[in-house]
Amino acid sequence: MTDDETGASVPFVVTIDNAARPWLLTATVGETITEVDRTMIPFTLDGTRDTLTVMLVMFYVLAILITTLIAVVTIGIALLQNKLEFSNIIWLSATMLSFPVLRAAMPGAPPIGTALDYIVLFPCLCLVALLLVGTGIHLLWRESALLRRTTLDTAESGAEPDPEITPEPVSTGR
């Protein structure tokens, strides 16, 4: 460093303190470079994550990915076997709401905007949200079949619907 008024070199001390947990910081000092009017001492600062932090983040990422896979398989099998129930919607909504909590629980989790969010979290959230909406639409369509059929039968016959007649429930395949 140099004094702005006199141009003379001013001695100073650089202290590097590793307070950025869970980062492991190391610094190395290079060779002194002397030029005509100044002396430079370069140093390199390296930072890495500790192993425990990396393993915990990998655990949370796997939890998000496996939960998404379980959701896809569960809903797919329920649709193929025609055994889709309202409990599937509850499970999907709980899964979707748990992902941001899992993301926030990661050690040293920065705010949204990291590569992890765009590669893992957002696609999994979108997939579960699509499953949730699709499952809801499917259940609504299936459960409204009774009302739709009654309305169509009445419209085809030209008769007024009889409020005393209650249609039989539609079998849901259970």
Contact 44, 30 (CB under 8 A): yes
Which residue ranges make up each domain of the chain?
1-49, 51-157
For residue 171, the model assigns a pLDDT of 58
Nearest Cα to 139, choosing from 72, 95, 75, 96? Answer: 75
pLDDT of residue 62: 93
Tokens of 134: 């699709």
The pLDDT of residue 108: 66
- CA 144, 145, 151, 156: dihedral to nearest 10 degrees? 160
Confidence of residue 111 (pLDDT cuts 50, 70, 90): low
pLDDT tens, residue by residue, 119-164: 899 999 999 999 999 998 988 888 888 777 776 666 666 656 555 5
Per-residue pLDDT reduced to its tens digit, 9-19: 777 777 777 66
**pLDDT in the model for residue 148:** 72
Averaged pLDDT, 68-96: 89
Question: For residue 20, what pLDDT is reported?
Answer: 62
Tokens read off for 158: 């030209």
Q: What is the DSSP secondary-structure string of 20-48?
A: STTEEEEEEE---EE-SS-EE--EEEEEE
Whether the CB-CB separation of 89 and 59 falls below 8 Å is answered with: no
The closest alpha carbon to 103, from 61, 165, 138, belongs to 61
Residue with the bigger pLDDT between 149 and 86: it is 86
pLDDT above 70 covers what percent of the chain? 77
Assign 66 a pLDDT band (cuts: 50, 70, 90).
Answer: very high
pLDDT interval class at 45 (50, 70, 90):
confident
**Assigned token pair, 87:** 């409990």
Residue 110: what pLDDT?
66
Tell me, what's the pLDDT at 28?
A: 85
pTM of the model: 0.62
Mean pLDDT of the chain: 80
